[in-house]
Amino acid sequence: MGNSTHKLEIFRGLVKFKSNQSKIWAVLFFLSVVTIIEVALGIVKPEVLIVNSFLSMKLINWIFIILTIVKAYYIMWDFMHMRDELRGLQASVIITLSFLIAYLAFILLVEGNYIFDVMYEGFVSWNF
């Protein structure tokens, strides 16, 4: 039940730690750096990332969402010890959640966008 039983490498084996504790501190450092990047981007709001968009979402929002998922991955894999669990458990949690959440978000966002269009282009004035 010692350290030897934890998988101690992160970034696909790029970095390997001697003990579980040093891995935890490194993950904290990584998460902090990501958060600082997010906050800095949120405050500076670079013009380039706001004007340009990809798949009708601003680049800055893509960056925020991707960084969030990266953070979620490391919290789950290293803090919640998902890295040490069996593939079956990893898959049952991740596939279930990612499918259902992506589905829910897709349906509701498309619907919200549609209602916006109706109110925006419709004949009825919503601003009286």
Partner 1 sequence: MSSTITTIEDDNTDVWGGGNKPLNSSYGKLMMWFFIVSDALTFSGFLAAYGFSRFKNIDSWPIADEVFTHFPFLHGVDAPMYYVALMTFVLIFSSVTMVLAVDAGHHMQKGRVAFYMLLTIIGGAIFVGSQAWEWGNFIRGEYGAVETKGGQIYQFQSSETGKRIALHDFAVEIPSERVQHESKNGVWYMGESTLPSYTTQEVISGFVANDDIVIKTEKIDENGHKIILSREESLNKITQAVSVVEGANLVNNEYGNRLFADFFFFITGFHGFHVLSGVVINIIIFFNVLVGTYERRGHYEMVEKVGLYWHFVDLVWVFVFTFFYLV
Q: Which residues of this chain interact with partner 1, rule CB under 8 A? A: 1-2, 5-6, 20-21, 24-25, 27-28, 31-32, 35, 38-39, 42-43, 50, 61, 64-65, 67-68, 71-72, 75-76, 78-81, 84-86, 88-89, 92-93, 96-97, 100-101, 104-105, 108-109, 111-113, 115-116, 119-120, 126-128
| Chain centroid, CA 78 distance in Å | 15
Q: Which residue has the tokens 């990047």?
A: 37
Report, in Å, the least distance between residue 75 CB and partner 1: 5
What tokens does 38 get? 């997010």
Report, in Å, the least distance between residue 93 CB and partner 1: 6
SS3 126: coil
Report, in Å, the least distance between residue 11 CB and partner 1: 18
CA 20 vs CA 10, 15, 58, 66, 98: distances in Å: 11, 13, 38, 26, 28
